[in-house]
Structure formats: C-alpha cells, structure tokens
Structure 1
C-alpha cells in the first residue's frame, strides 16, 4: 500500500463559534516541509489534552473519500465538509478503515509511524458542522479515521507518500476491530488476540483487559 498525501493540516486552539469552549478541530492547510515530532506535526495543537493528543494520538489520518460519504448523508453540512474539516492532519485517497490494520507501520515522509488506534469521534464534530447525529453516525459506522504514534521522527510535505512497510500477520483491519468490539458477547480468544496485537495503544489494551476480565467472570 502506497498513498500520496493530498492534504496536510494543522491548527491552534480557538473558541468554538457559538459555544465558546476551546477546540482545535479547525485545521488549515499547511505548506512546506513540516517537522514530525513524538507528539505530532509542528504547529498543531489540541485543546483537551485529557482525550486528544499525546504519543498514542500524535497524528490523525482521515480518508478524503469519507467526507463525500458524510456530505451525502448530511447534506446540510455539505458546504463545510471536505479534507481537513474533521480535525485531521493528513488526507489521502485510496485507503480507509477496511484496508488499514492495527499495528501497521508506515513510512510517512522521512518519519516512521504506527497505526495504534482508531479515532473515537466527540461532540466537537457536530458543533463544528452544525448538524445533529453526525457524531453518532460516524461512531456507528466506524469511520472516524485513525491515529498514529511516531516511532521515528522526521518531516513531511504535501505530495509525499505514506507507504506500508510492516504489518503483523492476522492483524485486524479497523473495520473488523469495530465489529468485534461492538459485539455484545465477542469471542474471548478473538478479543484477546486483538488486545495482544503489537502496537495497540495502551488505553485500548486497558479497555480490552477490563472487558475480557468481565466476560470471563460473567
């Protein structure tokens, strides 16, 4: 898998219009060569560091095709949807949650990054686009994109490639990940294999440990 970066975005914390709460979901296109550090793209920020940012949410990748899918479902937001409008740092064509896997390692410009967890959408999406139900639809369909951790720092610019260089055998795609975790009583062995997938973010390891223990006890 080799993708081309068609959009590169960063943003600073600002007040949500009509709401006033701090947000960094408003990203703008950036140009030139941008440094990638352990906590993300130079010049990018997160408002609520309890749930956004940090090493396991350093970079957010969102498929450009999904914007068109959301615009068709929510025509009232079509004018505001487009690459960069969901708070992502990277936009590409040709890959989505059905084709990328937990633990995948990519060459991203001169950096090396690892897909460590899916994004879980929050209230800021609906506040940003002014439509009800979008956050729930994105969560239900598992189409919020994904996060990378940075395993080797480097730099990137528009037009650089994102190339898959390592995949764990039998790793789950993000689409399969969401199917499994949404099941009422998932297969315990499958859940344990997911929990033990190399590269999975620590917060998901902890969530899965709790669920596995509960299922075993009940």
Structure 2
C-alpha cells in the first residue's frame, strides 16, 4: 500500500429545512476522534433527500481541500470557505483530487476499506449555499466536484488518517477523464464507447447508453438550477 493523501477533517450534518421547501444536510460540521462508518456512510450523518443523496453508492463524499484556494481566488473570500465542509463533504482531504484518483480505486482510511464509485453531480443547493446562481455549474465545468466512496469494509475513520491506495484496477481512468466526457456534453461515439467497458454505477451508465442510442443530451437545468433558469 502507498499513502496518497490524508484526511484533514471528518464532517457530519443533520437534515434541516433548507430552501424551496426541501430539507438538506449540506451544512456539516467537523468532528473529533474516530467516527463509525457503516455501509451507508458515517453513522452520525444524515441526508435531506435519500432518493438522490446517500445510499451504498454514495456512502461518503470526499472533497479535496486543495480546491478551496482556487475557489477563493475565483469567487473571493466568502465566509463559507473559512473552514472545511463548504461543499457538504464528509471527508476533507489533501493529496488526492479528481485527476489523481481512478474509478474503482480501493483505499484504506482508518479501519475502513473504501472504493471510488462515482463523481458528484452538483445540484442547485450549492447555488444557495454560496450565494452564487451558477455555483453548481461552475463545479461541473471545472471538474472540481469531489467524488463518492462505497464502503467495502465498515470501520472507523478520524481526522489525520492516511489515505492508502490498496488497489488500482483502472489506472487509465482517473475520474477527471470520465467527468470530462460526461460534463462536456460529448456525443462522440469514440469518446463514449470506452466508458461502456467500465464498471460505472447504473445512473452514469444510463447516461452513456442514452447518448449512444439517441444522440441526445440530458436536460441538466432542473439539477443545476432547480426551478430557476440561467439568464442568457
């Protein structure tokens, strides 16, 4: 095993009324000491809408701390950037990004064994959190989305834990490569067809299949802007 990063903070949150009549647990706070992790995530964490968030394929969301400096440079010194958790992440980490982790990487953090399952599809709740009407779109365009882990072995994780690479079955497929194809809106069969050979989660596989079969892109406005529409 090789150390590829480190956990800077572990964060949990409770589902509370948020905006537009929905609940969210995006406002997470850091916790100290070892935290218990089950197959669906941190035991003390919640999700506002479990149809979209959480579950086995999205058990833990990790966000690179390195991205914060880029966001501060681009958006200014917003108070939300002052500490970890700005993006509703469960793990704030350094040393790993979408460009350096690959699909299905297996990593050891604390006593857990985790597997990279998918990138994040950012949604309109980020627009409200950052007081930035196109924040979700910005995450998508920059590929600075963070990603999700599925839990292969339950255990505990804690701030300061090393992130150790156990196995990398798809070294040619960093998450950024997959995100670029999907988020660029590519309909190019030469770009899409190789994705079909990967163990994508069902929702991402269906995106690729629809593009190949119908040569049509998804309507992302509901996810990115909610009931709002981007002003042209």
Q: How does the TM-score come out when normalised to structure 1?
A: 0.89
8 Å CA contact 2:103, 2:117 repeated in 1: yes
Q: In the alignment, what sits opposite 2:79? A: 79
Q: Secondary structure at the residue paired with 2:87?
A: coil
Mapped partners of 1:127, 1:21: distance in 2: 12
Alignment of 1:114-129 (within 5 A): 114-129=115-130
Q: In the alignment, what sits opposite 2:206? A: 206
Structure 1 pair 202–69 and aligned structure 2 pair: CA distance change class (3 A): same
Deviation (angstroms), 1:64: 0.4
Mapped partners of 1:171, 1:45: distance in 2: 34
5+ residue gaps, structure 1, are none
Tell me which stretches of 4 or more aligned residues in structure 1 moved more than 6 Å. Answer: none
Give yes or no for the alignment of 1:62 onto 2:58. Answer: no
Deviation (angstroms), 1:59: 0.3
Mapped partners of 2:6, 2:43: distance in 1: 20
Q: Secondary structure at the residue paired with 1:9?
A: strand
Mapped partners of 2:75, 2:146: distance in 1: 18
Give the aligned length.
Answer: 211
Give yes or no for the alignment of 1:4 onto 2:24. Answer: no
Alignment of 1:87-126 (within 5 A): 87-126=88-127
Q: In the alignment, what sits opposite 2:169? A: 168
Mapped partners of 1:169, 1:48: distance in 2: 31
The Cα offsets for residues 168-187 of structure 1, whole Å up to 9 and x where unpaired, read as: 24441121112222253324
8 Å CA contact 1:171, 1:197 repeated in 2: no
8 Å CA contact 2:103, 2:170 repeated in 1: no
Mapped partners of 1:11, 1:101: distance in 2: 27
Mapped partners of 1:170, 1:213: distance in 2: 28
8 Å CA contact 2:64, 2:93 repeated in 1: yes
Q: How does the TM-score come out when normalised to structure 2?
A: 0.84
Q: In the alignment, what sits opposite 1:184? A: 186
Deviation (angstroms), 1:94: 1.6
Deviation (angstroms), 1:157: 1.1
Mapped partners of 2:59, 2:73: distance in 1: 30
Between stretches 153-162 and 168-177, larger displacement belongs to 168-177
Deviation (angstroms), 1:20: 5.5
What value does the CA root-mean-square deviation take over the aligned residues?
Answer: 1.8
Give yes or no for the alignment of 1:23 onto 2:24. Answer: yes
Q: Secondary structure at the residue paired with 1:29?
A: strand
Deviation (angstroms), 1:19: 5.4
